[in-house]
């Protein structure tokens, strides 16, 4: 058996007595497992199967269902519980259906089996990112319906495609649509991330994604000739300069001066140069062109003009026969030109309700953060709707996109109770 880095951790058994779920709790866990077993990983997510399952669950609760497509084969499922005063701005709970691929060779259990071990860990791609919150939303609504709760504001759940590949055919089109406008959304909860401690994490902004492509040119020639400023030499200088910038940013994180999400990350993702042959590359020919690609994540508080200046003067100066493309991947400012951030103070009345609901559920909330990666929340923030990223997963390793992604059954069930408090308080909020 191959021992992967997290194998020992995953198999360490607790000395505490095992939690025994009730019959009702077992049914909730089973519905979570059923959703996880629907293969919604790219490149061929089973959106139809997922929407059919989720619609069936929603109708069993008594929610209205609507499926729309902005691109064929990529459905957006909208679930609605109409409030007693639907004229008030509504509450929207968002989750994406799709997930990233998973290589079974690197998993200790098949990644789409939703295997549950004796410690209650449910192994599946999407267990944390973010199929858990979709089922927790539904189970929380099921509980609220069962106890006769009546929301003041309308509650909507949106289940969208393509978040993992940028959201351009999913939430981006949905938020820009007339149908979204008709939902009269006042506040949104979207996905967050697990917490290693007993505090829940909450995110008021995402780092914004950019793609940087640098092209270098130079004189071609024999492999033995000592050119001054060849294409590959120029590109290597670019990569080394970027690496020094990256190291400085990373040092700020390691020193505790900034969080990882508060610095600019620049990571090389590909290098391209040379003349290929059926068995390799031509080794005695220096190429006239070379190219490198970088994934760039920019905190919303940083100016893209700063980044452009750095690229033009240091990373890819025209004086070294270099050009670049800095490609924006989604919005980076709201409709008024302000950064895509949600206030976490008295200026945002939803924030007070949110924090009080977390406390009432017995949970503790950590300091609000910027998310290191990027979610669909940026599309709601772009049009000025306050949006928080939140997934109630405390004392849980962060395994999104990792091998052996799992969520414990106890953490899943606790999250349902947290969402019950959040949904009841946020939908009853009098502004």
Q: Which of 129, 130, 162, 163 is catalytic?
A: 163
- Give the whole-angstrom CA distance, residue 9 versus residue 16: 16
Q: Is 247 an active-site residue? A: no
**298 in Cβ contact with 207 (< 8 Å):** yes
Tokens representing residue 193 in the block: 């991330």
Phi, psi for 421 (deg, rounded to 5): -65, -45
C-alpha triplet 81, 86, 92: angle, nearest 5° = 55
- Give the whole-angstrom CA distance, residue 137 versus residue 120: 21
- Give the whole-angstrom CA distance, residue 160 versus residue 393: 21
C-alpha triplet 8, 12, 13: angle, nearest 5° = 160
Q: Which of 98, 169, 334, 376 is catalytic?
A: 98
Tokens representing residue 171 in the block: 């939430």
Side by side, the strands of the sheet bearing 265-273 are: 265-273, 289-298, 208-217, 322-328
Q: Is 98 an active-site residue? A: yes
Q: Tell me the CA distances in angstroms from 114 to 82, 117, 118, 183, 338, one per residue in order.
A: 33, 10, 13, 34, 42
Give the gyration radius of the chain's Cα atoms.
24
Query: Could you check whether the bond before residue 145 is cis, i.e. omega within 30 degrees of 0?
Result: no
**Which positions are catalytic?**
98, 163
């Amino acid at each position: 058996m191959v021992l992967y880095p997290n194998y020992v951790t995953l198999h360490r058994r607790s000395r505490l007595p095992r939690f025994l779920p009730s019959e009702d709790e077992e049914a909730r866990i089973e519905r979570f497992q059923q959703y996880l077993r629907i293969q919604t990983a790219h490149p061929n997510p089973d959106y139809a199967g997922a929407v059919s399952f989720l619609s069936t669950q929603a109708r069993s609760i008594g929610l209205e269902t609507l499926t729309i497509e902005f691109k064929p084969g990529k459905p957006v499922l909208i679930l609605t519980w109409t409030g007693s005063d639907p004229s008030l701005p509504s509450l929207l709970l968002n989750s994406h259906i799709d997930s990233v691929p998973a290589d079974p060779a690197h998993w200790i259990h098949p990644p789409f089996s939703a295997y549950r071990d004796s410690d209650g860990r449910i192994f599946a791609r999407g267990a944390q990112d973010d199929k858990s919150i979709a089922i927790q939303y539904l189970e929380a609504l099921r509980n609220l319906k069962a106890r006769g709760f009546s929301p003041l504001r309308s509650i909507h759940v949106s289940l969208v495609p393509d978040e993992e590949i940028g959201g351009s055919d999913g939430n981006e089109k949905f938020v820009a649509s007339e149908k979204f406008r008709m939902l009269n959304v006042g506040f949104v909860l979207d996905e967050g991330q697990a917490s290693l401690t007993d505090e829940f994490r909450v995110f008021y902004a995402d780092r914004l994604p950019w793609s940087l492509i640098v092209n270098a040119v130079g004189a071609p020639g024999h492999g033995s000739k000592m050119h001054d400023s060849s294409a590959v030499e120029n590109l290597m200088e670019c990569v080394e300069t970027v690496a020094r910038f990256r190291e400085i940013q990373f040092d700020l994180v390691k020193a505790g001066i900034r969080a990882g999400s508060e610095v600019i990350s620049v990571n090389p993702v590909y290098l391209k140069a040379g003349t290929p042959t059926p068995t390799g590359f031509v080794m005695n020919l220096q190429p006239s062109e070379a190219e490198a690609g970088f994934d760039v994540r920019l905190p919303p508080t940083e100016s893209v003009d700063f980044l452009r200046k750095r690229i033009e003067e240091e990373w890819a100066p025209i004086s070294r026969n270099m050009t670049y493309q800095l490609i924006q991947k989604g919005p980076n400012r709201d409709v008024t030109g302000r950064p895509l951030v949600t206030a976490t103070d008295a200026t945002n009345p939803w924030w007070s309700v949110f924090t009080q609901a977390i406390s009432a559920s017995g949970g503790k909330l950590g300091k609000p953060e910027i998310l290191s990666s990027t979610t669909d929340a940026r599309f709601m923030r772009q049009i000025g709707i306050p949006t928080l990223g939140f997934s109630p997963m405390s004392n849980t390793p962060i395994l999104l996109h990792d091998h052996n992604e799992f969520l414990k059954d106890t953490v899943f069930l606790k999250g349902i109770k947290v969402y019950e408090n959040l949904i009841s308080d946020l939908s009853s909020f009098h502004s």
